[in-house]
Chains A and B, each alone.
Chain A
Amino acid sequence: MNFAVLQFPGSNCDQDAVHVLRNVLGHTARLVWHKDASLGDADAVIVPGGFSYGDYLRTGAIARFSPVMQAVKQFADKGGLVLGICNGFQILCEANLVPGALVRNKSLQFRCENVFLKSPTADSPFTNRIPAGKLVRVPIAHGEGSYFADAETLGQLQANNQILWQYADATGELTDGANPNGSQLNIAGVCNARRNVAGLMPHPERASEKLLGSDDGLLIFRSMIAWFENQAKAKAA
């Protein structure tokens, strides 16, 4: 599978995503510069974490205007898989590719620590390999990761099973204590209505090797790969 990993000025988790996709999972991953207007032959797009444009103005607010984002929009419109991680999630929100917004952490401080994620649904290209009830242990690292949406949007997200990841405690409960940033409904990540574009604040690429403490994050990438391969098989059949 061919992954395109976007590179904005200020991206700093781009190499991490490439490392995991290439060296841990054995797939092809290529950096795509933000000024490029084409994604080439990508099968999926990763919008990585970092501080695109220094987070000036508002997180993700400037990056959405980069030429490559037009290509990402078209790619998504055709049903292509797009995953935004951390700052990538913020960019996808700003670009209206996924619903909602990410605001300052309730603590007003940057937070870097491991959290547990619960997936309410396995019915998505990003969660299909996560076993039911499995708590995925991955780190967060953000200052503006508090998920916010109006009541109507939240209702739709719930009705359509668009909430893909929620912060849980070690027993799987969605408690206030487990919520690291004050997100509504403990939301850590969502997808669009068509389910092909998703964003999450935690960093699965930092939890993809046992050596680094957890490889739970691989479940998310493996979900994308499984979904893509099934699609390809279905097309071939």
Chain B
Amino acid sequence: MTEPAITPELVAKHNLTPEEYAHAKEILGGREPSYTELGIFSVMWSEHCSYKNTKPLLKTFPTKSPKILVGAGEENAGIIDIGDDLAIAFKIESHNHPSAVEPFQGAATGVGGIVRDIFTMGARPIAALNSLRFGELSNPEVRRLFSGVVSGIAHYGNCFGIPTIAGEVYFDKSYEGNPLVNAFCLGVLRHDQIARGAAKGIGNPVFYVGPATGRDGLAGAAFASQDLTDESAQQQRGAVQVGDPFMEKLVCEACLELLATGCVAGIQDMGAAGLTCSTCETAARAGTGIEIELNKVPQRVPNMSSYEIMLSESQERMLIIVKKGHEAEVKRIFDKWDLPWAEVGVVTDTGRMVVRHNGKVVADIPAKKIADESPVYQRASQEPAYLKEVRAFRLEGIADTKSPMDDLKKLLAWPSIASKNWVYRQYDHMVRDNSIVCPGSDAAVLRIKADCVPQCESNPAAAKVPDKFIAMSVDCNGVYVYLDPYEGGKAAMAECCRNLACSGAVPLGATDNLNMANPHKPELFWQMQESVRGLADGCRAFNAPVTGGNCSLYNQNPSGPIDPTPTVAVVGLIEKPEHITTQWFKDEGDAIILLGTPVDTADPILGLGGSAYLQVIHGKKTGSPPRCDLDVAKTLHTSLLGLIHTGDIKSAHDCSDGGLAAALAESCISELIAKDTPRLLGATVDLSEIKDVRLDALLFGETQSRVVISTKAINATKVIERAKLLGVPAVQIGTVGGDKLTIKTSAGEFSAPLTELHDGWWNSIARAMA
């Protein structure tokens, strides 16, 4: 097969600048690359694989703590110690562009990819989360994307057998045509089970395991690293991979079984940039070389070129470096699971990645150079002009709420606030028998038990595993970030940690997914830079270092860029099962207490900037978002945990979108006993002591660092005193009971039956999708 000649046009088509091409030639010792090599440089130096536009920003994240066993950027996922010789591996990753083009497969393979990253580390995947963004549901195309993405995630996770236990979904016009699909996975392992993606041991054989390579997903990584346009979407449909969760389940079980034999020297999944990335990264990490013969790679179709085989992103494939002499173990285990496998190469001492096809060398590149010496750009940055107007926004001219309960109903039925049951009822969120707090509370809580840890033949005594309890949450209010990237970045981290605190957990670490627009535009780069600064400050404040993550740039479509969305997922540990706390009220007669300052009066727009209320009731997406004081937040979280540890707290729910009124309503209506059987428990709330503040700011303002808790009436005074002692404003605002939510204010008393509040909240997404 003759390969095309390398022309400047061909180089440009591969998204390499003339400077990058010159650097590639330099790495090759001055010669021109072959066509296959050009493809390899193109995918390895795409933003998706190289982080060339974001590396300088990512370096500003805190990434260290004594608990971190594998840090950010070292491997396929970070690993954190959770005590008793156990550890968790977790990471979030985006599949935005593929999902825009083919929502079902795009989202499904997003799940597949992140699950693979976790078992590659030697961990058993036990939990999945996702963070999704779409345009507004009134648009039929948005509904098609939403429905396709959700069923794709369900298809992959359900069949694989991983509980999809938490997530978030926002709907905003800025994501129209460019949905965001971020998938998170967490796995468990013992310290001595950590596997490495390194091609160690000169002379060790290199195995390819998993299904055959096809032409699907050709150069998906490169596709994900350019602006999404109608034209690119049409052309690139072939860049979307097709997932097979059944195959992944088998590959996962077989890999964990093989790892348990102790004969694996290194292992890496073939994700973005497939065989290319896995071979050169494993060699680069070990400081070795690797040689493979493409003839031996299982192929789905005849006559595939070396370019196609190296760049294919066919799913569910793994590269495994086996200790010499143990080849038979691979055969035994992969034959048992009826999985294809092939010995395709060998680890060398040359430091080069050498690819042969039918014996002929088609690529010969220094592995470390291409993996580690990708170009790095410090992009120009400039504050966007729109922020002037945002900051100048004041409430004069915005009429205060006249009918708070009607406004509350509208807010609860707003798809971004409404119950996401239409989504999570499609996900198996209980498989593996560990789901303690399922979707529908502030954070998901999962038990870790013995069968969450991969088995180990050599150490059966290690099967004794004490139960552990972890909480997970994923958050980001993109509107806040758009209106003030720094405050928004802090707020995302604060909300995530607040959710964890409400569930009774202390943060261990974070993983972030920067969903941004085109980094070449200085105003858009500025958004990213500032939001990273906010997120990083948040990580430091809450002692939750970043253990890894993902960047997805070029998220924009012809109608404009997306709101900058630095999604963050935080994992926390709950000491004892009795500390696990949920958001809904528990018993009639319990006292309702508000922790935190009711309204931030130092904020000229009283926490209403960027609020759901301004968007839904007044049609305005503007104003500086509520200020997020990290010290105040930290004090709140620590104090709340202290209160939970006393055993007096029966429910805890944070105030976020929709403010205090929405938080109270959700505390009344969000407990679910079974299908169509909610448990509604009313409340009578008295806020009349809080005077001289707009009613809408009091009820719907989104002042940060507030939590609604409930406790037995006789404990109320004790709890309030203790909270104050711990440095948190606390006041009893009401009592649980009845079948209505009644709120007294200095402007009057307002009441609504819970059945009405529940109906819109529970059903609005299903109705929009019907």
Contact = CB atoms under 8 A, between A and B. Distances in A.
A117 to B, nearest CB: 10
A109 B159 contact: no
Given A19-B449, A51-B246, A110-B426, A137 B673 contact: yes
Contacts of A203: 430
B432 A15 contact: yes
B144 to A, nearest CB: 15
B451 A19 contact: yes
A9 B433 contact: no
Contact of A113 (B151, B161, B338, B675): B675
B314 interface: no
Given A110-B154, A113-B674, A114-B674, A54 B245 contact: yes
B676 A169 contact: yes
B675 A180 contact: yes
Contacts of B154: 109-110
B160 interface: yes
B254 to A, nearest CB: 10
A94 interface: no
A139 B163 CA distance: 13
A111 interface: yes
B377 interface: no
Contact of B159 (A15, A54, A139, A177): A54
A46 to B, nearest CB: 14
B328 to A, nearest CB: 19
B700 interface: no
B643 interface: no
Contact of B427 (A56, A112, A116, A212): A112
Interface in A108-131: 109-116
Nearest to A52: B246
Contacts of A55: 159, 246
Contacts of A19: 433, 449, 451
A43 interface: no
A178 interface: yes
A110 B147 CA distance: 12
A107 to B, nearest CB: 9
Contact of B338 (A9, A115, A116): A9
Given A112-B427, A112-B430, A212-B433, A12 B161 contact: yes
B234 interface: no
Nearest to A108: B151
A213 B161 CA distance: 20
Interface in A188-212: 203, 205-206, 208-209, 211-212
A206 B430 contact: yes
Interface in B247-266: 247, 249-250
B433 A20 contact: yes
A114 B424 CA distance: 13
B426 A112 contact: yes
Interface residues of B, number: 38
Nearest to A7: B253
Contacts of A115: 674-675
Contacts of A113: 425, 672, 674-675
Given A51-B246, A109-B151, A10 B432 contact: no
Contact of B430 (A50, A110, A139, A143): A139
B727 interface: no
A132 interface: no
Contacts of B447: 211-212
B337 A9 contact: yes
Interface in B383-433: 424-433
- Which of B161, B430, B433 counts the most A-chain CB atoms under 10 A from its CB? B433
B244 interface: yes
Contacts of B674: 113-116, 137, 170
Nearest to B249: A10
B425 A111 contact: yes
A13 interface: yes
Nearest to B158: A110
A212 B249 contact: no
Nearest to A17: B433
Nearest to A16: B433
Nearest to B432: A16
Contacts of A139: 430
Contacts of B250: 9-10
Contacts of A143: 158
A53 interface: yes
B507 to A, nearest CB: 23
Interface string B164-182: 0000000000000000000
B675 A178 contact: yes
B436 interface: yes
Nearest to A14: B161
Nearest to A20: B433
Nearest to B155: A110
B623 to A, nearest CB: 38
A51 B433 contact: no
B455 to A, nearest CB: 10
Contacts of A114: 672-675
B675 A12 contact: no
Contacts of A137: 673-674
Given A9-B250, A50-B161, A51-B159, A109 B426 contact: yes
A71 interface: no
Interface in A24-82: 49-51, 53-56
Nearest to A168: B674
A73 to B, nearest CB: 23
A12 B160 CA distance: 7
Contacts of B159: 10, 12, 51, 54-55
B577 interface: yes
A170 B677 contact: yes
A141 B430 contact: yes
B435 interface: yes
Nearest to A53: B246
B246 A211 contact: no
A139 B428 CA distance: 10
Interface in B323-366: 337-338
A171 to B, nearest CB: 10
B433 A177 contact: no
A51 B449 CA distance: 23
A177 B429 CA distance: 22
A202 to B, nearest CB: 11
A162 B246 CA distance: 33
B286 to A, nearest CB: 33
Interface in B666-686: 672-677
B246 A141 contact: no
Given A49-B431, A112-B158, A212-B434, 16 more contacts: A9-B249, A9-B250, A9-B337, A13-B161, A15-B451, A51-B158, A51-B249, A54-B244, A54-B247, A112-B428, A115-B675, A137-B673, A169-B676, A170-B674, A206-B433, A212-B433
18 contacts: A9-B246, A9-B249, A9-B337, A13-B431, A50-B161, A51-B161, A51-B245, A53-B246, A54-B159, A55-B159, A55-B246, A112-B426, A112-B429, A137-B674, A170-B674, A170-B677, A203-B430, A211-B447
Interface of A: 9-10, 12-13, 15-16, 18-20, 23, 49-51, 53-56, 109-116, 137, 139, 141, 143, 169-170, 177-178, 180, 203, 205-206, 208-209, 211-213
9 closest Cβ contacts across the A-B interface? A12-B161, A54-B246, A114-B674, A16-B433, A51-B159, A141-B428, A15-B451, A170-B677, A110-B426
